[in-house]
Amino acid sequence: MDTQPPTPQPPLPSAPLAHIQSLPSWLVGRVAARGRGLVAEAVAAEGLKLVHHAVLAATAEYGPVTQAELGRRLAVDPKDMVGILNHLQEAGLVLRAPDPADRRKNAITTTPEGEAVLTRCATLAEAANARLMAPLTGEEQGLLMELLRRVHEAPTSF
């Protein structure tokens, strides 16, 4: 029986939780969660959850668009998309109509009220992000945004 000795494991840091909390990935995740929370709180004033806001924004940008295409673009399960669109339609923010290219499908478009809500949500989201970035000077905010863009746009494999 040919057995290999176990691969030695690196020693645990003396303070494992402090180690995790010092990692850039942890810090970025916590800041992102705080930012999402602030924006979610802000758009709730318009009766929307973040996913409703995203679907409404995608509809405005890509519409008229099918439910299936919205789901693919936003990675939303088709069953969930139906409920989201029901909410938006009941609120008068989107319209469903047969797709002229394929009458078996619905084409989704924003209503004038949906466009107005998006404009208000943009203002609310900007204010929420200003609160998130308030501890930084204007120069620091610009630098942070540039650094985040670089990390975001970097290739994932090195």
How large is the greatest C-alpha to C-alpha distance in the chain, in angstroms? Answer: 75
Q: What is the pLDDT of residue 82?
A: 94
Query: Distances from the Cα of 150 to the Cαs of 123, 141, 146, in angstroms?
Result: 26, 14, 6
DSSP 46: G
Q: Is the dihedral of CA 80, 83, 85, 91 positive or negative?
A: negative
Could you report the per-residue pLDDT of 33-82, keeping only the tens digit for each? 999 999 999 999 999 999 999 999 999 999 899 999 999 999 999 999 99
Spell out the domain ranges in the chain: 29-135
pLDDT, tens digit (0-9, with 9 covering 90-100), for 139-158: 999 999 999 999 999 998 76
Architecture of domain 29-135: Orthogonal Bundle (1.10)
Residues 112/95, Cβ–Cβ less than 8 Å: no
Q: How far is residue 95's CA from residue 106's CA, in Å, rounded to a whole number?
A: 9
102, pLDDT greater than 90: no
Provide the mean pLDDT of the chain: 92
- The rounded percent of the chain whose pLDDT value lies above 70 is 96
* Total-model pTM: 0.81
